[in-house]
Structure 1
């Protein structure tokens, strides 16, 4: 009878982690967890059969016990305690066999061996008939139901506690029986196995039974209050056990592959189940114990785990006797106790491995007594706690493991597959521990220096899922620098550089390698000795630099960055720059990078000039490329970040030289730009010029001619002239508002409506009839159009947007309020007004902004004689400016602010006639406006050398004008409505542009003058208004005006109120 029981796997652990303090431990599974159930059952059956034979035949001995012989410890399938017993010790619990429901020989799903199935309980029976009733009281199965009639199977809360641990380990027998129990006839022992059957049974049975257990726990509120933890080990690779060592290769390879596939899919299912369980009951966890990965490492490298023989078994399971040179004195050297089960030493290791996995995944501290295998697959993991101990950490699996603790483990770190992510060197343990890379990736999330020794061997993961052909890959996050310094790099494995950050090699290189690939970011070779690599490939997104020496052929499809800043980089071999390749040339005032090649050099791609703030390039000449043999072909293009520099390349058979010439006028197009260019040409020096060097550097990094020209404009401060346009337009708005008031008074609209006024135009509505009569010459008194001795107060609010286009394009807006009072003085009107206004301008580039508050005092008056009138207005305005210029070009980002003050004087006079045009009245007039707009000098702050010391500036606008008003009033019910249309043309004989005279703070004593925006020569204003009046006391009106010149448009919306008494 072929009797086999659960899979083997695992290895020893000595030393140990301390207790997780679970409240209880319950176990289901097979012979790896069984502590005597199968032995007791088979011994009892043997005794029963022996009794039957004695009664029927008069004698006989039947021994069907499993396991066989006294060397097995008290019915266990090992020479001592099994892993679940060790777990009790680690948690300070007394082992209770009643809580271990595992049976040797158990499977999940269907069993092939009907004899053993008649004697033991498989996983589903253990869970449904034995375990769940003790949790929820619900009996299952025939015998369980009968038993439930007489006894309540549910146990009290103390049997579980607030934090129970459940272990479920199954699956080895499923694969074993697919080979051993396939057919009873030995001739067919190796016949066609279908390993999908055990795989599917495990992938179905394990999650399903876990869900059943969890469902039972969810019925109880008095247990598992802190969550339930499940330990689920992976299936050991039974193909590596002594039981199958003599199997044909195709059987062992197929069996091993099926186990690996099963474990990976089982992990994925368990991770999903973990999410489900933790959502159902907070604190609940499924801890996957990857004993398959542990066993694989133990068998490949047994000594660090305390074993010397991981191939042979210590005891023969058939005879129960020692085998293969094993005995009581050396059993600790063996991984396998019998052909299928581990020794108790291996069980101890498995228990400690489970405990370590639990601790580290939970973010708790742990000590490593033997190498810990972290097989991180499918999902990334983070070990947040501190890890200590004398042993090492081994990373396998394609996913990422983040080490975040201040770790002190001394055995080093080995990365075979996937990624280890760290933020500092202490994450990798004590400095004495070597970092070994055998196909894995080290990813740094922060900059730090690593002084531990590093070993890069050939990859062992090349053919694995997401594996790598490179022995070591260094993935540096963007903006970080990983420096290897004061250490030695051993091994000849190929190296890859990925990530957008920098890897700076300052190590001693003990050996060379075949291939180095710079795929992303920058690899700086600054090693203390030669960096030997048969081939170094710099890919499109990669860069290679430093001041070291590479021995080998370098092929550049990305960037070569010689030196550290300015320096020399040596290639002891051939060099090929492909079409996509770039050589980045860093030049300083008196030196430049040098790339020296001892072999043949083939050029192509581009040369890119790099300039630092301290680089002062005027007309220097540098040799930057040399070859001991020959230089073939030429660069396709030269990329220069400065539109103010020109360069020329000079080729010889063994060198390439570059010469520069500087002229700030190169991109200049406008007069202002030429003014600034001339200033900078005169001022530029190769000697240090303080902060002005940063401004020059920024100019040299504007790249394009357009951006270079825009930078000249930004430096000039010409945008400060925008304030003059907005100020002028607002002064004109204020002056026209008082002219509107005088015209309103002249029309007679201060008077009450005449009795009997009809609803038609032309009657004496609001005095319009009198105005028409007066305009026709039927004058009564000299003041016929002026209110008789009545004083008025009035107010107006207005505002609106504007736009200046052309060379100095900007948007503007303004708001204001005017309050005035006046009264008749004989045939004249005299008044006074107070005004407040706000203005704002914003350049099209959004980099220049000016705000201002204006305070105005005005007097006005009007004289009327028959049809002739003369209006006059005079005003003084105080303006408080706040200027803000953002200087953003070539990497420079500064803001210059200033607070100039303004003092404006405005005088306007209009003379005209009042004429009748049918039912309308017209006022043609001639005028002369003079505006003296004075902005005081000021100094900007905040932009360093680019701030301006601005001189005071005065604009004089002398504007004769011609215009006309058309007005009309008519009765509308109880109200008088008075529409008005007007238009006026101004011809500016004064300054048509603003002028900014200033000097840069970084170049004192070098003044320059540039022009800014202005009104131009020609300006027109059109407008319309509508007034509403019911009595002679109150009048309301709304008004719209539009002003326009060649480059300027302004819109003004007004509301006003006049009160008379």
Structure 2
């Protein structure tokens, strides 16, 4: 009966059927529970036959392969060939008075085959299902290693890793804001528009009035990668954007408003990729108390994310996509102490930032491997201790500043971002993305050029290294005061 298509053949005969010694009954079965069937109105004697099964997948349950209206007379097949048990399934032929069956019984949890936390969690999510294409495909895999590779593809970890990316990328907004306040007061390591003016003595620099209105802009780009932690796959991302703002003096404070846009592309090693578009809005301010400087601000970012991932393992393929929104709220502050040593200026500083990312719930488009995710929040706090330094020099008839920064950043809170998922009809399970580095070295080196009395151009390199993460970038700043 076998022709490679399960369930399309039912041989119905009147009378009795006797299978001679050495005969073979060939049937097709598939992963949806369909099978070919041999049926007689009378009796069937199976004792001389071999049941040869061609399986295009296995489904937990019972396949009926022979039916005899007047019974089997207690006979059974001599042998079963073509289908074997798997690490999760036991396959056997069974009988009642009138029928011969092929029984497929789940004898082991999928989660037992997992090695990593994500693999175990994905296995638990599959264990909560009662069937379906992805369930049956995993159940039919021949080894634990094949199951582990399938779990890695099914986990949806890129969504969790993308949360960590949003947490990390929040620094572009706060770094621009604190840099602008330093510039407005002519502080150490100012990236743009040091508000300084020539005194009556000529080249000696003295603090200028800061009550003038100023506008500024910053273009930035950054490229980073985080190694696999043995659980989530390695993650790469690139980000570019533009921020702009305006500020003025209010009492003894410099206060301003900023806004901007950024675009990120990202991918994980397990056939997953995505992109995000973010819009930023923030308030910032700062003041100086003698040699002590204080800078602070708050910002919110609206992000739209789009992801694609492919799942392909023995007996199963799927292509999945999702579109959803996220919001990033942050507050930040910095204290610094300004000191001079000859022509060099130094500034030890302490920076504190709290970041909260909330992602909306979503359901992926695709087949049986599609995941539904609940809305979740990821909260992290960053402290940075470091030293900035700068020195002025003449360059082509312009006043210029060389500057640098070296710091240590510590992260705590939700440093391993997670997402909660469920397969259709199943229970929720939690998947972790690549972790945010707990401890990182942060560096910056730049040059600023006073293009005119009212305009400054700044160029800078930035880097962050630690915890399996390498992130490098560049910034261009332009500020004009009126």
Instruction: Establish whether TM, by shorter chain, passes 0.5.
Output: yes
Task: Say whether 1:563 aligns with 2:8.
Answer: no
Task: Say whether 1:710 aligns with 2:159.
Answer: no
Q: Distance in 2 between matches of 1:927 and 1:874?
A: 14
Unmatched 5+ stretches in structure 1: 1-480, 484-501, 503-525, 529-547, 555-560, 567-585, 602-606, 650-656, 758-762, 771-783
Contact 1:1016 1:1046 in 2 (8 A): yes
Task: Say whether 1:1038 aligns with 2:459.
Answer: yes
Residue 382 (structure 2) aligns with: 959
Residue in structure 2 matching 1:790, options 212, 217, 235: 212
1:755-770 aligned at under 5 Å gives the runs 764=204, 767=205, 770=206
Residue 247 (structure 2) aligns with: 822
What displacement does 1:673 show? Answer: 1.9
Q: Distance in 1 between matches of 2:290 and 2:349?
A: 15
Residue 78 (structure 2) aligns with: 626
Q: Distance in 2 between matches of 1:803 and 1:624?
A: 61
Contact 2:129 2:135 in 1 (8 A): no
Contact 2:167 2:356 in 1 (8 A): no
| Cα-Cα RMSD | 4.0
Q: Distance in 2 between matches of 1:588 and 1:952?
A: 33
1:379-394 aligned at under 5 Å gives the runs none
CA 1:597/1:1047 → structure 2, altered by over 3 Å: closer, same or farther? farther
Contact 2:167 2:328 in 1 (8 A): no
Residue 663 (structure 1) aligns with: 109
Q: Distance in 2 between matches of 1:1040 and 1:1031?
A: 23
Q: Distance in 1 between matches of 2:479 and 2:315?
A: 56
Contact 1:609 1:639 in 2 (8 A): no
What's the secondary structure of 1:736's corresponding residue? helix
What displacement does 1:743 show? Answer: 1.9
What displacement does 1:826 show? Answer: 4.5
CA 1:608/1:816 → structure 2, altered by over 3 Å: closer, same or farther? farther
What displacement does 1:857 show? Answer: 0.7
Task: Say whether 1:980 aligns with 2:443.
Answer: no
Task: Say whether 1:836 aligns with 2:268.
Answer: no
Residue 1049 (structure 1) aligns with: 470
CA 1:705/1:789 → structure 2, altered by over 3 Å: closer, same or farther? same
Residue in structure 2 matching 1:882, options 293, 298, 306: 306
What's the secondary structure of 2:478's corresponding residue? strand
Contact 2:326 2:357 in 1 (8 A): yes
Q: Distance in 2 between matches of 1:982 and 1:832?
A: 25
What's the secondary structure of 1:669's corresponding residue? coil
What's the secondary structure of 1:662's corresponding residue? coil
Between Structure 1 and Structure 2, the one with more helix by share is 1
1:693-772 aligned at under 5 Å gives the runs 693-747=132-186, 749-752=194-197, 764=204, 767=205, 770=206
Residue 287 (structure 2) aligns with: 863
What's the secondary structure of 2:413's corresponding residue? coil
What displacement does 1:721 show? Answer: 0.8
1:998-1017 aligned at under 5 Å gives the runs 998-1003=421-426, 1006-1017=427-438
CA 1:616/1:997 → structure 2, altered by over 3 Å: closer, same or farther? same
Q: Distance in 2 between matches of 1:701 and 1:824?
A: 70
CA 1:588/1:820 → structure 2, altered by over 3 Å: closer, same or farther? closer
Task: Say whether 1:894 aligns with 2:321.
Answer: no
Alignment length (residue pairs) = 437
Residue 71 (structure 2) aligns with: none
Q: Distance in 1 between matches of 2:104 and 2:301?
A: 57
CA 1:791/1:562 → structure 2, altered by over 3 Å: closer, same or farther? farther
Q: Distance in 1 between matches of 2:259 and 2:32?
A: 62
Q: Distance in 1 between matches of 2:214 and 2:449?
A: 16
What's the secondary structure of 1:902's corresponding residue? strand
Contact 1:588 1:617 in 2 (8 A): no
What displacement does 1:1046 show? Answer: 1.0
1:776-787 aligned at under 5 Å gives the runs 784=207, 787=209
Unmatched 5+ stretches in structure 2: 5-10, 39-45, 63-74, 94-101, 188-193
What displacement does 1:795 show? Answer: 0.8
Contact 1:753 1:1032 in 2 (8 A): no
Residue 67 (structure 2) aligns with: none
What's the secondary structure of 2:365's corresponding residue? coil
Q: Distance in 2 between matches of 1:1059 and 1:929?
A: 28
Q: Distance in 2 between matches of 1:1007 and 1:977?
A: 58
What's the secondary structure of 1:679's corresponding residue? helix
What displacement does 1:1017 show? Answer: 2.5
Residue 237 (structure 2) aligns with: 812
Between Structure 1 and Structure 2, the one with more strand by share is 2
What's the secondary structure of 1:1014's corresponding residue? coil
Q: Distance in 1 between matches of 2:153 and 2:145?
A: 12
Structure exhibiting the larger radius of gyration computed from Cα positions = 1
What displacement does 1:717 show? Answer: 2.1
CA 1:638/1:941 → structure 2, altered by over 3 Å: closer, same or farther? closer
Residue 59 (structure 2) aligns with: 615
CA 1:708/1:609 → structure 2, altered by over 3 Å: closer, same or farther? farther
Q: Distance in 1 between matches of 2:182 and 2:141?
A: 56
Contact 1:699 1:711 in 2 (8 A): yes
